């Protein structure tokens, strides 16, 4: 493998081409393991950025994609349709919280957020209220790297401040204070309520990650907070956009994180695990109210249409992935992962370098007091046979649901050994 070419010409995520970080050549991946070309194998604690729920080289997913390739890998979705897309949309309508009924298929999570934002803005335009063109987002929130999505990420602690002058200026409420198992008081919601009351004439929607704030801090917050946000949106005529790109398909212990609060959004975004980590695909769902409101407006149609929308190969993978997930004991697997992460990461609470250890579903987070040297920590974890990608003060694990107790134990042991010695 020509690593010199890679270093000189290929931009990896959030990397420099002047001083490129090390990359590790992979030969193949199978189950929960990544096999490097140098003969080493690593347990993937990241599920390929939270997408490979079933691990790698999954027979059911491979078979579905092979069968679809024999028919067609892609066809335009404008004016045409196909069975894989219809089957997938039926599944999504059935398993997502009611009353989400309409499905728009996109090609990445960030684009699904763009679609959600456009839905909210076009809805209010169609209602004759174009002044409702701002969003209310949460501090420590993260919704993607494209321009509309970047504008809803935390402008202070997020990764996009360099582009601030080019981004739409939205409103931001404080990050939710009550932790997952804590109640949500009037005081906890006071500033968000005030922002809504003061700006409801301009606000189209509230956008948030339900219960789990991901890349913005790996924070778990009270479902009661989410429930109260839903109530405020109803009271003040705002749409609620729930970004479940990271939490959808069981990661938090519920099939969708909104279920922890017993609420449903007006618009829901899905991605990452939708295809089990095999193909890029995303979906934005909305209610009849939103869809019909948009289509009764000036344009008469929703103004969006990606070239690879409804890609049949990706839809086939998604159908197989959802079937595989729902036919297996995913709740028990996620609960077992949560219990093991909680128990085996607990010793790190005694480290002076560790600020917090927290778990929810198949997510285990170690928050350090100071930012870690990502390359140094990652290299040390690799020496223990673990693949994780720290960022900032956070070192976390989100393994495939099929991980064995032994493999998860190796992963947590690597975290304890490496982080406990910092």
User: Which of the following CATH numbers is that of domain 3-57+329-419: 2.60.120.560, 3.90.1150.10, 3.90.550.60, 3.40.30.10?
Assistant: 3.90.1150.10
For residue 307, count CB atoms less than 10 angstroms from its CB and return exposed for 0-12, middle for 13-18, buried for 19 or more: exposed
Single out the residue of 228, 221, 220 nearest to residue 192, CA to CA. 228
Contact status, residue 93 vs residue 285, Cβ threshold 8 Å: yes
* Both structure tokens of 306: 């990606």
In this predicted structure, what is the pLDDT of residue 297? 93
Kindly state the helix (H) or strand (E) to which residue 413 belongs, with its residue range.
helix 405-419
Rounded Cα distance, 118 and 205, in Å: 11
Catalytic residues: 14, 142, 243, 272
pLDDT (mean) for 76-86: 97
pTM as predicted: 0.97
Single out the residue of 15, 33, 41, 32 nearest to residue 159, CA to CA. 15
Contact status, residue 178 vs residue 185, Cβ threshold 8 Å: yes
pLDDT at 160 over 80: no
For tokens 């922002």, the residue is 195
User: 42 has which bridge partners?
Assistant: 34
In this predicted structure, what is the pLDDT of residue 18? 95
Rounded Cα distance, 413 and 410, in Å: 5
Q: What is the phi/psi pair of residue 49, to 5°? A: 55, 50
Single out the residue of 340, 366, 363, 341 nearest to residue 420, CA to CA. 366
Give the torsion sign (CA, 135, 398, 87, 259): negative
Instruction: Provide the greatest CA pair distance for the chain.
Output: 63
177-188 per-position pLDDT tens digit: 999 999 999 999
Rounded Cα distance, 296 and 65, in Å: 38
Rounded Cα distance, 189 and 216, in Å: 20
- The CATH classification number of 63-327 equals 3.40.640.10
Rounded Cα distance, 190 and 40, in Å: 52
Contacts of 299 (CB under 8 A, 6+ apart): 122, 126
Strand 239-243 to strand 203-208: parallel, antiparallel, or no bridges (unpaired)? parallel
User: How high is the mean pLDDT of the chain?
Assistant: 97
User: 268 has which bridge partners?
Assistant: 242, 285
364-399 per-position pLDDT tens digit: 999 999 999 999 999 999 999 999 999 999 999 999
| Helices and strands, counts by H and E, the chain | 13, 16
* Both structure tokens of 367: 């928050």
In this predicted structure, what is the pLDDT of residue 282? 98
In this predicted structure, what is the pLDDT of residue 374? 92
pLDDT at 17 over 80: yes
Rounded Cα distance, 85 and 78, in Å: 13
Rounded Cα distance, 133 and 137, in Å: 13
User: 104 has which bridge partners?
Assistant: 284
pLDDT at 155 over 90: no
Contact status, residue 134 vs residue 281, Cβ threshold 8 Å: no
294-324 per-position pLDDT tens digit: 999 999 999 999 999 999 999 999 999 999 9
Strand 386-387 to strand 267-270: parallel, antiparallel, or no bridges (unpaired)? unpaired
Residue 387, number of CB atoms within 10 A of its CB: 24
Structural domain spans, the chain = 3-57+329-419, 63-327
């Amino acid at each position: 493998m020509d690593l010199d070419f890679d270093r000189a010409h290929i931009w990896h995520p959030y990397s420099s081409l002047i001083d490129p970080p090390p990359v590790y050549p992979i030969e193949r991946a199978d189950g929960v393991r990544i096999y490097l070309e140098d003969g080493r194998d690593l347990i993937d604690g990241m599920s390929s950025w939270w997408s490979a729920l079933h691990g790698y080289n999954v027979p059911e997913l491979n078979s579905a994609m092979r069968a679809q390739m024999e028919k067609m890998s892609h066809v335009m979705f404008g004016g045409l349709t196909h069975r894989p897309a219809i089957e997938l949309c039926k599944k999504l309508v059935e398993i997502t919280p009611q009353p989400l009924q309409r499905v728009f298929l996109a090609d990445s999570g960030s684009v699904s957020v763009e679609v959600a934002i456009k839905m909210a803005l076009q809805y209010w335009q169609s209602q004759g209220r174009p002044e409702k063109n701002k969003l209310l987002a949460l501090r420590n929130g993260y919704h993607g790297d494209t321009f509309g999505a970047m504008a809803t990420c935390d402008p202070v602690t997020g990764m996009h401040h360099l582009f601030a002058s080019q981004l739409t200026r939205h409103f931001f409420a404080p990050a939710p204070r009550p932790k997952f198992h804590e109640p949500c008081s009037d005081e906890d919601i006071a500033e968000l309520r005030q922002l809504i009351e003061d700006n409801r004439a301009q606000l189209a929607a509230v956008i948030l990650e339900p219960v789990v704030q991901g890349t913005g801090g790996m924070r778990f917050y009270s479902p009661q907070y989410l429930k109260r946000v839903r109530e405020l949106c109803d009271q003040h005529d705002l749409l609620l956009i729930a970004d479940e790109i990271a939490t959808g398909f069981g990661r938090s212990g519920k099939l969708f994180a909104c279920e922890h609060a017993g609420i449903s959004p007006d618009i829901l975004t899905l991605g990452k695990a939708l295809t089990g980590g095999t193909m890029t695909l995303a979906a934005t769902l909305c209610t009849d109210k939103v869809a019909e409101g948009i289509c009764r407006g000036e344009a008469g149609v929703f103004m969006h249409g990606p070239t690879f929308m409804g890609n049949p190969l990706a839809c086939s993978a998604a159908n197989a992935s959802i079937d595989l997930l729902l036919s297996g004991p995913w709740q028990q697997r996620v609960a077992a992962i949560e219990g093991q992460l909680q128990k085996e990461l607990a010793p790190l609470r005694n480290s002076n370098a560790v600020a917090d250890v927290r778990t929810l579903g198949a997510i285990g987070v170690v928050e350090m007091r100071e930012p870690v040297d990502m390359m140094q920590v990652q290299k040390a974890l690799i020496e223990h046979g673990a693949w994780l990608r720290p960022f900032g003060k956070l070192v976390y694990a989100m393994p495939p649901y099929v991980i064995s107790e032994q493999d998860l134990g190796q992963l947590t042991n690597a975290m304890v050994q490496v982080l406990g010695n910092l």
